[in-house]
């Protein structure tokens, strides 16, 4: 790939990669963990001093229920799929619970 991409094209690519990673997790017997709405490396000072992934992650508003719909439409009912959905936003418990109820296997 080369050149410039629109935000819409970047989002389609991101969504497709997430779906492909879910399929590969199933094939390999792995658990997929998703952190929707995490805003990473929020402190410029810590980032410049220590680099990536040293904390300072904060919750951000996101409509992850809609964002996950294409993934769940594709693989959400597979019995070999295990997803841990972890958000830093404690107010999202309602959406997490409803998603879990919708896709839990009997």
Whether residue 88 is contained in a domain is answered as yes
Whether residue 11 is contained in a domain is answered as yes
User: Over the stretch 84-106, which tens digit does the pLDDT of each residue have?
Assistant: 888 887 777 777 777 777 777 55
Boundaries of domain holding 94 = 7-103
Whether residue 2 is contained in a domain is answered as no
Q: Is 38 helix (H, G, I), strand (E, B) or coil?
A: strand
**pTM of this prediction exceeds 0.85:** no
User: Over the stretch 36-81, which tens digit does the pLDDT of each residue have?
Assistant: 888 888 888 988 999 888 878 888 888 888 888 889 999 999 999 9
Contact in structure between 30 and 45 (CB atoms under 8 Å): no
Residue 91 to residues 60, 64, 82, Cα–Cα distance (Å)? 11, 13, 23
Whether residue 42 is contained in a domain is answered as yes
Whether residue 25 is contained in a domain is answered as yes
Per the structure, the count of domains in the chain is 1
Whether residue 87 is contained in a domain is answered as yes
Whether residue 1 is contained in a domain is answered as no
């Amino acid at each position: 790939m080369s050149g410039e991409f629109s935000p819409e094209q970047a989002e389609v690519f991101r969504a497709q990669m997430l779906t492909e990673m879910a399929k590969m997790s199933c094939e390999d017997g792995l658990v997929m963990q998703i952190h929707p709405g995490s805003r990473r490396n929020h402190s410029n000072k810590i980032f410049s001093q220590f680099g990536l992934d040293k904390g300072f992650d904060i919750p951000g508003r996101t409509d992850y229920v809609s964002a996950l719909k294409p993934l769940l439409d594709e693989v959400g009912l597979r019995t070999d799929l295990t997803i841990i959905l972890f958000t830093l936003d404690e107010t999202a418990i309602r959406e997490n619970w409803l998603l879990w109820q919708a896709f839990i296997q009997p």
